[in-house]
Structure formats: C-alpha cells, structure tokens
Amino acid sequence: MSTEDKEAQEDELLALTSIYAEDEFKRADAASGGEIQLCLELPTDFVISIKSNSATNSFADNFEDTVSFLPPIILNFELPPGYPSTAPPNFTLSCKWLSPPQLSLLCQHLDDLWEENRGCVVLFPWIQFIKEETLGYLNIKSPYEIDVSSNGLQTWMQSPEKTPGDGFSSERGSFDRRAIQDVQSVSALVKYILDFSETQQKKVFDGKPFLCNICFMEKLGGECTHFKDCQHVYCKNCLKDYFEIQIKDGQVHALNCPEPKCTSVATPAQVKHLVGEQLFNRYDRLLFQSSLDLMADVIYCPRPSCQMPVIKDPQETMGFCSVCQYAFCVLCKMTFHGVSPCKLTAEKLLELKEEYLAAEEEEKRQLEKRYGDLRNAIEELKNREWLEENSKPCPHCEAPIEKIDGCNKMICTSCKQYFCWLCLKILSQTNPYQHYDDPSNCVQL
C-alpha cells in the first residue's frame, strides 16, 4: 500500500468517526474498514402495507400502519490496499425492508459513483447517496406495499407505481451477491419495523426540549412523559406527584392527562414507571376493583371476611360464592330465602324509602315484588320518624307521649304514670310537683 493511499484511508475513517455517532458508525478493529447504519428520512405519515398472495398467511392479511422510521440500510465495507488510487472499497449492502432487486440496483449505482470518482475517496458520496436519494432512486412512495409469497417469506417490495419496465427482475439468481436481505419471515419483519420506529421516535423525543405546563420549566424529553393519544407532555416529577395523589385518594379513573378537558389516559406502564412498584400495586388493585364494580353481572360476597367477586345469573336471585361456599340472595344480601320476600333491615328500608317514593307505579310494583309490602313498611317508618321527632317514651312503660301544651308534669296515657317531660324522671303519685321545688332538679316551665 502506498503512503498516499494509507493516509487517505486513515483520514477518511477519522472523518467518518467524527461525523457519525457510535451507534451509526463502527470502525473495524482488525482491518481497514467498518460498518455504517443509514436511516432514511421518510415523508410525513409514511404508510407501509402488506399484501399476501397466500390463503393461509392470516398474519399478513390487511396489515397497514404508519411509521416515522424504517430500519437502516447497512453498508459494510473494507478498504483494499489499492484504495483509493486504483481499487474501489469491497462492500455489502443489507436491509430488512428492501428486496434483493432493489439492493442490487443500489450496489450498481455505488459502482457507478466509484467510476465517476476513481482515484478519490468515495465513502462519503456513497453515504450521501444512500441517505438522501434512495427513496427517489427506487421510486419508493407511500403507501409502500409488501408482497408476500405463498410460503410466507418476503420476496418483493415495491411502491404501487413500480412497473416491470423499471429495471427490476423477479427471476431468482439474478441479484447482486453483495445485496443481502436480512429477514426471516413477514411477521418478524413487521415486528422489527414497528419496534424500530417506536425506538427511534423515543430517541428523538428524549433529545427534544419541552415546556411542562405544571411547573412551567423547560426540560428534555428524557425527563418527561407524553400521552400518546393527545401528545401533551409533562415533566416526570410533576406527573409523579399528580398520579400519587390520585392513587392515594382512590381516584384511579382520574389518571389521565392533566390538560383541562383532555381525556387521554396514562398507560399502566407509564403509571408504574412514575409511581413505583408498591403504589402501582395499589393502583392496579383499585382499577381492577372499579372495573368489576362497573360490570352488571358481578356482585360481591356479602360476608365481611370474604368479599370475593361473584358472577350472578340475571335470571336467578341466588348468588353462590365459590370461595367461602356462601349461598345468598342477590337482592337483600342475606342468606338465600327462596321465593319468600326479602327481609328488610332498618338500614335497607331507609335506603329504599327515597327510591320507592320517587318511583313510578310500575317501578313500585317491582320493588314490592322483591321486598314485600313496602308501602305499609314505609308508612310505619314515617310514623316512627314522626314519633322520634315529636314524642318521648314513658320512663315506666315506654309508650310514646306527645306534649301539646301545659307544664312539664306528664301523665302517661297508657300506664297513668307521672313523669317529668324534661328529664324523664318518674314523679311521685301523691306529690308530683315536689320534683320542681328542688333547685337541683328541673325548673317548672
């Protein structure tokens, strides 16, 4: 190798090292060469689709998605002793989403660029061509269609505008040996494309500054969380505090975007990353509980020591807990009582009172069918409530006594016992007013 060639190779490799990041360009340790990964800049809303000509390949059928990035075209090269004075670089081009015919055309154009620049370093012109002109050179436009052969392997990719006259050959064995399509199956290809696009989007997001509308500080995306549906961005510290308060208060359905009137919801992965394992477990448990509460066919075992969810049959009034083996009425939550009306506790009757009084006649009939004679029960309840508000029990026989007027010496209409209305003490039958003569007792009003 001449001194001039050696210096030119070293200068070119050093230039590539300074221009491209470590994850883009890797210089070979042993030989004079390396590998560079070249991501193309796609148009906005670039759509890839899969068209299968196989009746059995259900995965590929009707697949379509929008991507922001496609996996890189990888240029592996080795610089021979005569480069750049007499010999071109030895190279291969590999890609997951370009077909062997397309890669072969790119290889041929790299050869043409060498011929045009013979005697000069050529790696940077090659790189510029691949990054900036591949889409136009191969006439790749959105939507980009992937055709699938009957054995499920990708054999051809092209834009719908491509025609056989564009120079592609579908005959196997006519491709450039330097063109390598690095893909095993259609399903693997699609997964790799979607995963790569998501990873690159995150990489771009992490390095971009955003203004948090909670603390009003500008932070890099790596310190922020964004909601995918609405694309609103907040810093992780603010969102962490916001979510922790919601979870501790049990408001698990409020873990949405803090933007006013925005309904975007945080993913479980985002919540777990922000609040940690312990608080996320509480969130997960409360979310599951609230989801069960919204299901019409799910009730809970009424035993306080159990409380397990039970699936109920809408045609049956009996619920059966498979954990504690308790059979209960799904209406009154008491032990199952067959066709007999539900026995109402005082608490349950109070709950039903307002519902029954506000119900239409048909709704009242349905409630009476469940719980028996609610009309009389509620009238009795109203009477008890009136008595509690307007009467006092006789201290001797506990009969309710109403005071209309007069002094505080009362005579029970049931047992004729004298008592004080103020303190409910039993009074002397011979001298009931003696009670009021003592200043330490009640004062006569």
Residues with catalytic roles: 407
Q: Cβ(97)–Cβ(72) under 8 Å?
A: no
- H or E stretch covering 77: strand 73-78
Question: C-alpha angle with apex 49: 44 to 52, nearest 5 degrees?
Answer: 170
- Give the C-alpha separation, 38 to 326, whole Å: 66
Neighbours of 2 (CB within 10 A): 11
Q: For residue 257, give the nearest of 274, 224, 232, 236 by alpha carbon.
A: 232
Q: Which of 160, 126, 154 is nearest to 140 (CA)?
A: 160
DSSP class per residue in 320-370:
E-TTT--EEETTT-SB--TTSPPPPPHHHHHHHHHHHHHS-HHHHHHHHHH
Helices (H) and strands (E) in the chain, counts: 11, 21
Cβ neighbours of residue 179 closer than 8 Å, sequence gap 6 or more: 92, 93, 94, 100, 103, 104, 106, 107
Amino acid letter, residue 44: T
Task: Report d(CA 221, CA 210) in Å as an integer.
Answer: 6
Continuous segment of H or E residues that includes residue 219: strand 218-220
Rounded Cα distance, 3 and 7, in Å: 6
Instruction: Give the Cα-Cα-Cα angle 298, 301, 306 (nearest 5 degrees).
Output: 130
Cis bond before residue 302 (omega within 30° of 0)? no
Residues in the chain: 445
Written as one letter, the residue type at 27 is R
